[in-house]
Structure 1
Amino acid sequence: MERILHDLRLSETVTPFGVGAVVDVLGESLIASDTSWWDIRSAPEISCQRLLAILDPGVLRQAPAHSGRAAKETAHLFYWRFPAWRFCERCTKLSQITGKSKGRWVNRCDCGGALVPMRYVAVCDKGSHIQDIPWFKWAHRGMDAGVTDAVRFCKAYKELKFVRSSQRGEGLSSLSVECNGCRRSRPLSALVGIESLHRDGVRCEGRQPWQDPSSDQICDHRLIAVQRGATSNYIAESLSALDIPEETLPSVARTEAIRSHELFWRMVADNGGPKSEMFAEMIAEEVGIPVEEVLRAASDEEDESGGAALLDLKDGEWAAFLKKLENGRDHGVGDFVVDGWAVASHSTWPQALTSRLGGVGQVRRVREVRALRGFRRYDAGAAFINADLGPKRKKKSVFPAIELFGEGIFLRFDEERLTEWERASEVRARADILMQRRRASQWAERLPVPEPRFVALHTIAHLLIRRLAFASGYASASLQERVYAHSDRPDRTAGILIYTAAGDAQGTLGGLVRLGEPDKLLPLLLAALSDADVCSNDPVCIESDRQGASSLNLSACHGCALVSETSCETANRLLDRQLVLGGANVPGLLDDVLDQARRIGG
C-alpha cells in the first residue's frame, strides 16, 4: 500500500473530505473510507448529548490529530486510490498498476511518465454506489459494426491507451480508448449516455471502493458514467448542534403544568361530559392560561399519536436563547455565555426597527458540534450510506465529528409584528412561489419550508453576514448562520444567529461579539439594509422571481444577497430582497426602516 502524507484541517474530515468523498491530493485521486477503518484508540470521543439523541445509537469521534510534521507512527486516516484506472501522460498507456522504484510504490509509469487518474467513473443512480469503469471491457463493447470477433475475444489486457486527437473534432469525440491488440478504438462520447453502460453490460458491484469484494450485495440499479469531480457524486448529510443547557419550551412547560394539576385526569375521564368544561375553567384560572389550551392538552392526551409536534434541535436552542435574553448580563463561565439586552430601551434607534426587534444577544462563548451522518450519490433520493459501514453487532456506529468554539450575535424579532406582516395576501403569494418550486423538486424537499418569515429572516442573515465581513475581522466564509423561523408549532420562533466557530487554525478573537453592542449594531443593520437597497444587477434582480439553483431564489443574486455556500444552511437558496425591503406590490418586513433612518439622520 502506498503511503501518501497530507495534512487536513479537522473540519475537513467532516466536510468536504468526509467519508465517501472523492478528493484530489498531491496529484492523486483518493476516496475516504468509512469510520470502521479508523483507529478508535487515536480518535478522541466528543460529547454532545443533544446531537447523540438524534444519532443514537452512536458515538461521536474526532479524526486523529497531530501537531508538527507527520511521521510514520502518526495517527492517520485511510484514503483509498480511486479511480484505480490511470493513464500515463507520456506514453498514454492505461493501467491499474502502480510502479515501483527502489522498493517503494510510486505514481509513475514504467516509462517514467506520471500517472493521471481517469476523468470518468461509474455511479449507481439509486444505490449510492461508485466504482471504476472497466475500461478494457467497455472499449471492446458497443453496437457498431467495428465489434468483430477479433475485438470481442481480444485478450490484450495491457495494450490499452488513452488517446487525444484534434482530427476527430472537439469535446469527448476527440478523446478515445484504443487497444493496440485488436486496433479497436472507441470515443468517450459513447460513454456518457444514460443507458450507455447498461447497454454495454456493465453492472453495479453494489459496494464502495474500499469494501471487500467478497461482501458484495446484488444491485440491480443502473450505472451512469459521470466525471469523478462532479458535485453530485457526494451529497453529504451532516448535523450540527449548539452545546447549550437544554431548556423547556414555554408551551411544553404550560402543558406539564396542566397535566400535573389534580383536576386534569378527572377532566379527561369525563371525556367531554358536562364537568369537563368546569374542570377546564378551574385549571385555567389556577395556572393562568386560556381555557382552550387546557382543553387542547386533554385532547392531545387522548390522541394515540401523543399530539405533540416533532421538534428539532433548534427548538431547544431557541428556548435557551430566550432565557438568556431575559436574564440580561450573563456572568456564567460555561460553553454558552450570552449577554441579552432589550432593543426598546434605545430610543435613538428608528422606531420602525425597534418595533420589529424583540431583543439582541451578544453570544460571548458558544460550543458547536458538527457530525457527519453519511452520504448519498448522484441523486438526493438515492439510498443513504451510513458513515460507519462496519458490522453492527455489539457496537455502536461511529460518526465523524468536530467541536468548535466561537462567538456571535443573536437577533430576536417581535412575534406580533412578524405575524401581522406575514398575514398580508401579497406576502403569502410571494412566498408561495418558492413553496411550489420546493414541492416540485425532489431534492428541494430537504430544504426548510419557505414560509414568509423564514425567507425574510434568512435574507436578513445574509445581508448582515456580508456587512459583518467588512467590520468584524473575519472572512465572510468564516461566518455561519442559524435561522430560527417556524410558525407551525405552539412556540413560534423568529430569530437569527450569526456566529463564527473554529476548532483548529482560525480561532475567535471577540471581533464579532463586540459588534453586538447597541452603539455598533444599529449602524451595521442599517448599512446592511442600505447595501441591499440597490443591487448592481438592478432592475433585473429586484424584478426577478426566478434565480439560483432550480429557481429557488427570487430577488437575490451574487451582487446583493448571496454569501459563501459554507456559511448558509440552505446553500444560497430561499432568498428574496422584496420580502425584506418591499417591492412594487409586496410589503417588506423592514420596508420603512431606511426611510425613517434617513429622515432622522437628514
Structure 2
Amino acid sequence: MEKIRHDLRLSETISPFGVGAIVDVRGESLMAPDTSWWDKRFAQEISCERLMARLGAGVLRQPPEHAGRAGKDTPALPYWRFPAWRFCERCGKLSKLTGKKKGKWSNACECGGALVPMRYIAVCEKGSHAQDVNWFKWAHRGRAASLNEGVRFCRDYKSLRFHKLATRGEGLAALVVKCHGCGNERRLAELVTKGALHRDGIRCAGRQPWEPEDSVKKPCPYELVAVQRGATGNYIAERISALDIPEERPQSAEAADKIRGHVFFEKVVTDNGGPLSEQVAEWIADDLGVTPETVLAVAAGEETAPDEMLLDLKDGEWAAFLTKLGGGRDGSGSDFVVDGRSLENVAGPQSLLDKMSGIGQVRRFREVRALRGFRRHDAEAAMISADLGPDQRRWPTYPAIELFGEGIFLRFEERKLAEWEAQPQVQARAAILKERRADSPWANRLDFPEPRYIALHTLAHLLIRRLAFASGYASASLQERIYANSDRTDKTAGILIYTVAGDAQGALGGLVRLGEPEKLIPLLVAALDDADFCSNDPVCIESDRQGASQLNLSACHGCSLVSETSCETGNRLLDRQLVLGGSDVRGLLDEVLAEVRQHG
C-alpha cells in the first residue's frame, strides 16, 4: 500500500470527500472506503443521543485528526486509488500498472512521465455502484472491431495508448484509445452515447471499487453509464445533523397530559363524541386555557404521539428554543446557551415587529453532523451505507464530526403568519412549487414548500447575504436551519442562522452580537431593501421558472441565492414574491419597505 500524506479539513471528511467520494491529491485520484476499513483505535467516539435516536443502532466516530506536520506514524484515513487506469502524459501508455522507483511505488511511468488518471469512469444508473472502464476491453470492442479477427483475439496488453488527434479540435472526437499491437482505435465520443457500455458487453460489477470481488452476492441488473470522473452527480451524500440541546417536550404534549389528568376527562371519553362530550370539553378547555377541539382530539387519540414527534430533530430543537426565549439572560454555562430578547420598546417598522415574537442570541451550541451514506448518478438510486462491513446491519459506524458555534434565532408570530398564508393567492403561488417538488427526484430530500416555509427560507437567504457584510464571516461560513411547519400539533415558524467551527472554543462572537434587537431589526430592513431591486429585474421578479428543476420562482444569484453549503435544500424552494409581494400576491413582509420609505 502506498502512503500519500495530504491534509483535509475535518469537515471535508463528511462532505464533499466522505465515504465513496473521489478526491484529487497531488496528481492522484483517490476514493475513501467505508468505515469498516478505519482503524477504530484512532477514530474517537462521539456522543449525541438525539442524533442516534434518529439513526437507530450504531456508533458515531470522528475521523482521526492531528495538529502540525504529519509524521510517519500519524493516524490517518485509508484511501483507495480510483480510477486505477492511468495514462502517461509523456508517452501516452495506458494501463493499471504503477511504476517503481528505487524499489518504492511511484506515480510515474517507466519513461519518467507522470501518470494521469483517466477522465471517465463507469457508474451504475440505479445501484449507486462505480467501477473503472476496462479500457483494453473497450478498445477492442465496437462495430469495426467485430469484423477483424486480429482485433478480437488481441492480447497485447502493454501496447494500449491514449492520445489526442491534433487535427480533430478539442472535443471527445479528438481523444483516442489505440492498441498498437493490433492497430484498432476508438474515440471517446463513442463512449458517452446512450447504452454504449451495455452494447460493448461491459456490465456492472455490483460493488464499490474498494470491495473485493467475492463480496458480490447477486449480479446488478442495472446498466452502466460513462461519466466524467469529477462530475458532481457521482457522489450525492446523505447527511444528517442535530443540535445537541436539552430535549424539551412539545407544548402540545404537555397540554395533552394536563387534559388527560383533568377530573372530567373520563366523561368526554365515555360519551364518545356525543353532545355531552362537547359540553364537558368546553368546561375542560376553559379550565386549562386550551380549545375544545384540542380536548376532543386528545379524547379521540388523534394527537401526534410525543415519542413520534421527538424523532423529528427539529421539533425537539424548536421546543428547546421556545423555553430559552422566555428565560431572558442564560447563565447555564452549558453547551446550549441562548439569551432570549424581547421586542418591546424596540425601534423599527411596526409592520415588521408585529410579525416577530422573539429573538434569541445563541451564544454557544454544539452541532453533530453524520454521514449516513451516499448515492450515485441519480437522486432515486439505491443508498449505499457508510459502513459496508460485516457488522453494518447490527451495529454500523457512521462518520461524524462535532462543531461548536454561535447564531441568531428569530421566532415569528404564528397568528399573523397563519392569516397571511390562508390567502388564496398565497396558496396558489406556493402550489406551483408543491407540484414541481412532487415530480422531482429530489422530493424526499426537500422540505414541503408550504407558504411559510418558502417565505422564511427566502428571508433567511436575504439575511445571510446582509450578515456577510456586518458579521465578519463570509456568507459561505453562515448556515441556516428553517423551522416552518403548519401541519404539526405544535406549529413552527422560525429561523436559525449560525456559524460553527471545529475547535471546542467555537466561533468568535461576530454573529451573536448582531442578534441584539437594536442591531438586527435594521439589518432585516436592509436585507429586504437589497432584495427589492435585483440586477436581473424585471426578468427575475416576473419569473416562476428558475433554479435546478425549476424549483425556484422569483429568486436568482443576483438577489437570493447563497452558497449551496449554507442552504438546507441546495438553493431550492425560494421566492422573493412571497416575502416582498408581487402583482398578484401579497408578501409576508410587503408593508415593511413602504413604511420605512414613508417615514424617511
Pairwise TM-score range, normalised by the shorter structure: over 0.9
- Counterpart for residue 353 of structure 1: 352
- Tell me how far 1:482 sits from its aligned partner: 0.4
Please tell me whether the aligned partners of residues 140 and 147 of structure 1 are also in contact (alpha carbons under 8 angstroms): no
Q: Give distance in 2, aligned partners of 1:316 and 1:507.
A: 23
In structure 1, distance between residues paired with 2:144 and 2:393: 54
CA contact (8 A) 1:87 1:115 kept: yes
Match of 2:477 in 1: 478
Q: Could you tell me how far 1:166 is from its partner in structure 2?
A: 2.8
Is residue 2:473 matched to residue 1:508? no
- Asked if 2 retains the 8 angstrom alpha-carbon contact of 1:409 and 1:516, the reply is yes
Give the C-alpha shift of residue 596 in structure 1.
1.0
Q: Does 1:227 align with 2:228?
A: yes
1:476 Cα offset (Å):
0.8
**Equivalent residue number for residue 291 of structure 1:** 292
* 2:570 alignment partner in structure 1: 571
**Structure-1 separation of matches of 2:190 and 2:393:** 48
Quote the residue 1:51 is aligned against. 51
Distance across 1 between alignment mates of 2:434 and 2:54: 27
Counterpart of 1:288, as a letter, is: G
Q: 1:396 to 1:413 in 2, by over 3 A?
A: same
Partner of 2:438: 439
Separation of aligned partners in 2, 1:54 and 1:359 = 29
Q: 1:362: Cα distance to partner? A: 0.6
Given that residues 482 and 569 in structure 1 are in contact (C-alpha distance below 8 angstroms), is that contact kept between their aligned partners in structure 2?
yes
1:135 aligns with 2:119: no
Counting only pairs closer than 5 Å after superposition, residues 160-175 of structure 1 correspond to structure 2 as 160-175=160-175
Instruction: Show the counterpart of 1:592.
Output: 591
Give 3-state SS (helix, strand or coil) of 1:284's partner. helix
3-state SS of 2:484 partner: strand
Local SS of the residue matching 2:565? helix
Give the direction of change, closer, same or farther, for the CA distance of 1:466–1:331 in structure 2 (3 Å limit).
same
Secondary structure of 1:329's aligned partner: coil
Q: How far apart in 2 are the matches of 1:199 and 1:181?
A: 24
Q: How does 1:520-535 map to 2 (within 5 A)?
A: 520-535=519-534
Q: Give the superposition deviation at 1:142.
A: 1.0
- Residue in structure 2 matched with residue 114 of structure 1 by the alignment: 114
State the Cα deviation string for residues 89-113 of structure 1 (Å, max 9, x = none).
Answer: 0000001011111121100000000
What SS does the aligned partner of 2:398 have?
strand
1:300–1:307 Cα contact (<8 Å) kept: no
- Tell me, yes or no, if the aligned pair for 1:241 and 1:370 is still in contact at 8 Å: yes
Q: Deviations over 1:250-301 (max 9, x none)?
A: 1111112223445545643554467644654454344332222122112226
When residues 390 and 260 of structure 1 are mapped into structure 2, their CA distance, relative to the original with a 3 A threshold, is farther
Residue type at the aligned position of 2:592:
V
Distance 1:569 1:330 in 2: 28
Q: Is the 8 A contact 1:162 1:176 kept in 2?
A: yes
Tell me the equivalent position of 2:149.
149
- In the alignment, does 2:377 pair up with 1:338? no
Q: For the structure 1 residues 295 and 433, does the alpha-carbon distance in structure 2 shift closer, same or farther, using more than 3 Å as the test? A: same
Q: Aligned AA for 1:296?
A: A
1:428-464 Cα distance to aligned partner (Å, 9 max, x none): 1111111111111122342111111111101110111
Q: C-alpha distance in 1, partners of 2:168/2:349?
A: 68
Any idea what SS the aligned residue of 1:168 has? coil
Contact 2:250–2:306 (CA under 8 A) maintained in structure 1: no
Out of 519-528 and 125-134, give the one that drifted further: 519-528
Q: Is the 8 A contact 2:341 2:516 kept in 1?
A: no
> In the TM superposition, what whole-angstrom CA distance separates every residue of 1:571-591 from its partner, at most 9, and x where no partner exists?
111111111111112111111
Residues 89 and 506 (structure 1 numbering): CA distance in 2 closer, same or farther, change over 3 Å?
A: farther
SS in 1 for 2:157: coil
- The 5 Å alignment of 1:162-241 reads 162-217=162-217, 218-241=219-242
Q: For the residues of structure 2 that align with 1:400 and 1:499, how far apart are their CA atoms?
A: 22
Within 2, Cα distance between the matches of 1:344 and 1:434? 36
**Counterpart amino acid of 2:14?**
V
Give 1:98's aligned residue.
98
Matched letter for residue 322 of structure 1: L
| Aligned equivalent of 1:557 | 556
- Using the TM superposition, give the Cα deviation of residue 330 of structure 1 relative to its aligned residue in structure 2, in angstroms: 1.1
Aligned equivalents of 2:200 and 2:505: distance in 1?
Answer: 50
Shift in alpha-carbon separation, 1:306–1:265, aligned structure 2, 3 A? farther
Paired with 1:488 and 1:340, the residues of 2 have a C-alpha distance of 26
Q: Does the 8 Å contact 1:344/1:355 carry over to 2?
A: no
The verdict on how the C-alpha distance between 1:448 and 1:355 changes in structure 2, with shifts beyond 3 A counting, is same
| 1:76 aligned partner, one-letter code | A
Q: Does 1:33 align with 2:33?
A: yes
Residue type of the alignment partner of 2:13: T
Instruction: Report the more deviating stretch, 271-280 or 139-148.
Output: 271-280
- C-alpha separation in 2, matches of 1:255 and 1:52: 27
Shift of 1:169: 4.6
Mapped partners of 2:530, 2:303: distance in 1: 53
* 1:157-185 C-alpha deviation (Å, 9 max, x unpaired): 11110121032354111111100111001
Uncovered stretches (5+) of structure 1, i.e. residues with no partner: none
Aligned amino acid, residue 432 of structure 2: I
User: 1:181-207, CA deviations, whole angstroms, 9 ceiling, x for partnerless residues?
Assistant: 110011111111221111111111111
Q: Distance in 1 between matches of 2:388 and 2:309?
A: 32
- How many Å separate the matches in 1 of 2:279 and 2:379? 53
Cross-structure match for 1:247: 248
Distance 1:394 1:179, change over 3 A: closer
Query: Secondary structure at 1:252's aligned position in 2?
Result: helix
Which residues of 2 match residues 263-412 of structure 1 at below 5 A? Answer: 263-265=264-266, 267-272=268-273, 276-277=277-278, 280-300=281-301, 312-346=312-346, 348-392=347-391, 396-412=395-411
**Structure 2 residues without counterparts, runs of 5 or longer:** none
The answer (yes or no) to whether the contact 1:344–1:354 under 8 Å persists in 2 is no
Q: Is the 8 A contact 1:9 1:504 kept in 2?
A: no
2-structure distance, mates of 1:466, 1:505: 27
Deviation at 1:598, TM superposition (A): 2.2
Single out whichever of 219-228 and 141-150 deviates more from structure 2.
141-150
TM-score, reference length from structure 2: 0.96
Tell me the amino acid that sits aligned with residue 133 of structure 1.
Answer: V
Aligned to 1:495: 494
Q: CA RMSD in A?
A: 2.0
Task: Measure, in 2, the Cα distance between the counterparts of 1:444 and 1:267.
Answer: 41
Q: Give the Å deviation of 1:395.
A: 5.4
Does the CA-based 8 Å contact 2:297-2:303 persist in structure 1? no
SS at match of 1:238: strand
- Find the counterpart in structure 2 of residue 426 from structure 1: 425
Identity level (%): 67
1:146 Cα offset (Å): 6.1
Q: Partners in 2 of 1:374 and 1:307 — Cα distance?
A: 26
The number of residue pairs the alignment matches comes to 599
Aligned-residue offset at 1:337: 0.7
CA contact (8 A) 1:141 1:147 kept: no
Q: Is contact 1:84-1:132 (8 Å) kept?
A: yes
- Amino acid corresponding to residue 224 of structure 1 in structure 2: V
> Residues 96, 494 of structure 1: CA spacing in aligned structure 2 closer, same or farther, 3 A cutoff?
same
Q: Partners in 2 of 1:306 and 1:468 — Cα distance?
A: 36
**In structure 1, C-alpha distance between the alignment counterparts of 2:270 and 2:144, rounded to whole Å:** 79
Q: Deviations over 1:522-551 (max 9, x none)?
A: 221111111111111111111111111111
Alpha-carbon distance, 1:374 to partner: 0.4
Cα offsets for 1:478-518 (capped at 9, x unmatched): 10100111111111111101100110499511110001112
- Normalised TM-score (structure 1): 0.96
Conservation of the 8 A alpha-carbon contact between 2:124 and 2:377: yes
Distance in 1, Cα, partners of 2:481 & 2:312? 13
